[in-house]
Chain A
C-alpha cells in the first residue's frame, strides 16, 4: 500500500508539466483549436520525444512497459493544461486495444508507428440510439471471399477525422444488443466506402460521424477473434474512462487554483471576495470534491489493467460516477465564483468548465454508471 510516485514517474510528471506550462499556453492552445486541425504537429512530436506516446506499450514494440498509473499521470497533466491532442483516441483507446488484443503482426505494424508520432488512430464504436451501451452495435460485417464487408454508421468518434486508421466494431453474428457476435476491425480511413464528417467540439477537441458503405477489409484486419471482440472493447473503454477520470482530476485542480487566485484578487465591498464565508465554504466543498475525485482516479488507474472483469467494472463505474458528479460541482461552482467573468470566453475557468462538462458526457454519464454499479448489487446478491 503506497501512494508515492517512483522517481522516474515524478521526473516525467515534472518535465511534462514544465513543457506544457512553457509551450502549451492559453494563446497557443487557442490557435491550435482555431486551426481546425485537431492536433498540432509540434506538440505531438514533442510528446513522442518524451516517450509519452509509447508509455504503456511493451518494450519489444518500442514501448516503455508502463501501466494505468503512468497513463493517469499523463492525463492528469493534460487535464491541468486542457491539452486537446489525440492522446486518448490514439494511445489509450486504439493503441491500448491493439496492445491487449492484437496479433503480433498488428502490434509490429501499429505500436512503433504510434510511438514515433507518425500514426494517429481512433476507435469507432458508438452508434446512434445506443447511447452509452457498448454491446448495442448494428454495423454489419458480412463474411465474403475477400474477408468482410462493413456497413453502418458510427458516432462520437473522438478524433476520428484526424486518424489514418480506425478500429471499427461491427456485428458478425447475434442480435443488435448481444455481447456475443461483435468483431473488431482495422479499417484505413481512406479505404473506399469510408466517409468521415469531422466536427469541432465545444471544448476544442474534434469528433466525427463515420459512415461505412460496402467497405471491404481482409481477414487479417480482425483484431482478436471474430465474434468475440466485446471483452477487449469493454476493457479498452474502461481504460479510456480511467484516463478521462485522471484528466478530470487535473482540470478540477486547475479550476481550484484559478478560483482561489481569482477570489483573492477580485474586490467587492472593499475586500477580496475570498473573505466571505459563504464563498469559502463553496471552495471548501470544491476541494473536497477534487480530493474525492483524486482518490477515485487512483482507484480507477489501479484497476484499469485488470482482467478481473467484475472488480474492474465496479471500480471504473464507481470512479466515473463520483468524478462526473464532482466535475459538475467543481465546474459550476468555479464559474459561479468567477462571477460575470466566469461566463466569458476570455477566462481559463470557462474553458475548464467546458472540458469538465464534455468529459461527463463521454463514455457514460453519472446516471449510466450509477445504474451499472446499482445493478451489480443485484447480481452479486444472486
Chain B
C-alpha cells in the first residue's frame, strides 16, 4: 500500500501543468475560476487546443484518437485542468455517447460521429429523461415506429442540458410496447436539424437557460442511426450510466473550488476581519476540507481496484454531490448579504456596470441554487442508496 504517485505519474502531472501554463488562454481561465459565463466559442476554442495537442479525449483509447491514459492519469489531468481554470469539457459527447458508439456502434457511426466530438465541432445532447420518467428511467414513453428504412419518433424529452446548442441528440426510445419496460427500448442518434424537432427552454431557479424540453413530432430517423440492436438500448444506457457515476465524484473540480472558496474566505469581510477568521465559519470550511480529502482517497481506492469500479461508485456520487453542494453553499454564505443582488449581466464578458459588493458575490447565490441539481440528477442520491442497499449490502 502506497499513497504516493509514482515518479512517472508526477512527471506526467508536471507535463500537464506546463502545457496548461503555456496553452490555456488567460481570458478563459480567469472567467472559469471566477465562475462567470463562458461563451460557446471559448469552450470550442479550448477543445481545439486540447485536440491539437492530442489530448482532446482523455478518457478514450488511442485507436479512436484518444490519449489512452490510465484512470489515474485521467484523474491527474482533470485535477490539473480544474486547478488551472480550464473549462469543463463537454461530457455528453466525450464521456457519454462516445463510449457507447465505440463499444456498440457500427463502423460508419464511429467514422461519422467520433471526429466531430473530438474536435468540438459537433455538440451532443442527452435524450434520456422524460416528463414523468425521472429516476425511473425505464418508464419512458417516447416512441419510435418502424416505417421502411426509417423510424418515426414521437414524444418529449426533458432536462436536456445545453440542448439549445445541440447538433445531435442521443435518445432512448420505445420500439416495443409488448415486452417488459426495459426490454423494448432502442438507442437512436438523431440529427437535431431534422424537421419535427422543437427545442424549448426551461428556465431554472437561478434564472439561467441551461436546460431544455425537446419535442419530437413525427421525426424521421434513418434506421442506420440506431446503435446496436433494436430493443437492446437499455443495456447500452446502463453501460453509459456506469461511466457517468464515477465522473460524478468530481474531485478535481471540487479541489479547485475549495481553493477558490479559501481565497473568497480570505477576501470577504466580517466586521473588519476576513470571514475565515470567524471560527464558526472556518470550522465548517475545515470540516468540508477533510471530507473532500476522504472523497479523494476513496476515488483513488475505487479507481485502482483491480476488479474495476463496482456499485461502490454510488458512494462517490452521493459524497461527491453532497460535498459539491456544500462548497457552493459556503461560498454564498461567505459573501453574506452581498449575495442577494441578482445581476445576470455581470456574468457576461465585458460587463462594466455596478456590482452589489465584490465579484465573489456575483455568481454566489445563483451557483448555490444551480447546484441543488447535483443530488437529483444522474440517479438521485436516494436511488444511489437503493443501489448500495441492493447491490452492495445484498438487502
State which of A2, A285, A318 has its C-beta within 8 Å of the C-beta of B293: A318
- A2 lies within 8 A of B304 (CB): yes
Contact A295 B277 (CB under 8 A): no
Residue B224 lies at the interface, judged by CB distance under 8 Å to chain A: no
Which of B4, B9, B277 is within 8 Å of A378, CB to CB? B277
Contact A295 B276 (CB under 8 A): no
Q: Give CA–CA (A376, B262) in the complex, Å.
A: 12
A381–B294 touching, CB < 8 Å: no
The answer to whether A260 and B393 have CB atoms under 8 Å apart is yes
The contact of B392 among A263, A287, A296, A373, by CB within 8 Å, is A287
Q: How far is the CA of A203 from the CA of B304 in the complex (A)?
A: 37
In contact, B319 and A288 (Cβ under 8 angstroms)? yes
Residues of A within 8 A of B304 (CB): 1-3
A344 to B309, CA, bound (A): 39
Q: CA of A172 to CA of B392 in the docked complex: distance in angstroms?
A: 56
Question: In the bound complex, how far is the Cα of B392 from the Cα of A322, in angstroms?
Answer: 22
Binds B, one of A20-28, A230-238, A275-283: A275-283
**Binary per-residue interface labels of chain B (250-291) against chain A in the complex, 1 for a CB within 8 Å, 0 otherwise:** 000000000000100010000000001101001101110111
Comparing B81-89, B152-160, B382-390, the segment that makes contact with chain A is B382-390
**B377 in the interface, Cβ–Cβ < 8 Å?**
no
Chain A, residues 58-70, CB within 8 Å of chain B (1/0): the string is: 0000000000010
Q: Considering only CB atoms, which chain B residue lies closest to A1 in the complex?
A: B5
Give, as a whole number of angstroms, the nearest-CB distance from B395 to chain A: 5
Asked whether B72 is an interface residue with its Cβ less than 8 Å from the other chain, the reply is yes
CB distance from B71 to the nearest CB of A (A): 11
**Complex Cα–Cα for A349 and B223 (A):** 59
Instruction: Provide the residues of chain B in CB contact with A378, threshold 8 Å.
Output: 276-277, 282
Q: Contact check, A283 vs B297: say whether CB atoms are below 8 A apart.
A: no
**Also in contact, A291 and B395, with CB within 8 A (given A318-B289, A371-B283, A377-B262):** no
The answer for the CA separation of A349 and B80 in the assembled complex, in Å, is 44
Within 8 A of B (CB), among A258-303: 260, 263-264, 274-275, 277, 280-281, 283-285, 287-288, 291-292, 294-296, 298-299, 301-302
User: What are the interface flags for A30-70 relative to B under an 8 Å C-beta threshold, 1 for contact and 0 otherwise?
Assistant: 00000000000000000000000000000000000000010
Interface residues on A, range: 35 or more
Encode contact with A along B26-64: 1 for CB under 8 Å, 0 otherwise. Answer: 000000000000000000000000000000000000000
Hey, which chain B residues are within 8 Å of A264, CB to CB?
Answer: 395
Q: Is B334 in the interface zone, CB < 8 Å from A?
A: no
Indicate whether A374 reaches chain B with its CB closer than 8 angstroms: yes
- In the complex, whether A101 has a CB less than 8 A from a CB of chain B is no
B1 near A3: Cβ-Cβ < 8 Å: yes
Contact B297 A2 (CB under 8 A): no
Instruction: Give the complex CA separation of A291 and B301 in angstroms.
Output: 10
A255 to chain B, nearest CB (A): 13
Residue of B with least CB distance to A321: B290
Question: Closest B-chain residue to A288, C-beta based?
Answer: B315
Interface centre among A2, A263, A285 (most CB of B within 10 A): A2
B353 at interface by CB-CB < 8 Å: no
User: Complex: how many Å from CA A277 to CA B279?
Assistant: 38
Complex contacts, A374 vs chain B, CB 8 Å? 279, 282-283, 285-286
B6 interface residue, CB < 8 Å from A?
yes
Assess the B294–A1 pair: CB atoms within 8 A. Answer: no
Contacts of B4 in A (CB 8 A): 1
The reply to whether A291 and B389 contact each other, CB–CB distance below 8 Å, is no
Instruction: Judge whether A5 and B1 touch: CB under 8 Å.
Output: yes
Known: A2-B2, A298-B3. A321 touches B287 (CB 8 A): yes
- Which chain B residue has the least Cβ–Cβ distance from A286? B393
Q: Which residues of A contact B (CB under 8 A)?
A: 1-5, 9, 69, 260, 263-264, 274-275, 277, 280-281, 283-285, 287-288, 291-292, 294-296, 298-299, 301-302, 315, 318, 321-322, 370-371, 373-378, 381
Q: 13 interchain pairs (CB within 8 A)?
A: A2-B2, A4-B1, A274-B395, A280-B389, A285-B385, A287-B315, A298-B1, A298-B297, A298-B301, A301-B1, A322-B291, A370-B286, A377-B289
Which 6 A/B pairs are nearest by Cβ-Cβ distance? A374-B286, A280-B389, A295-B297, A318-B290, A284-B385, A284-B388
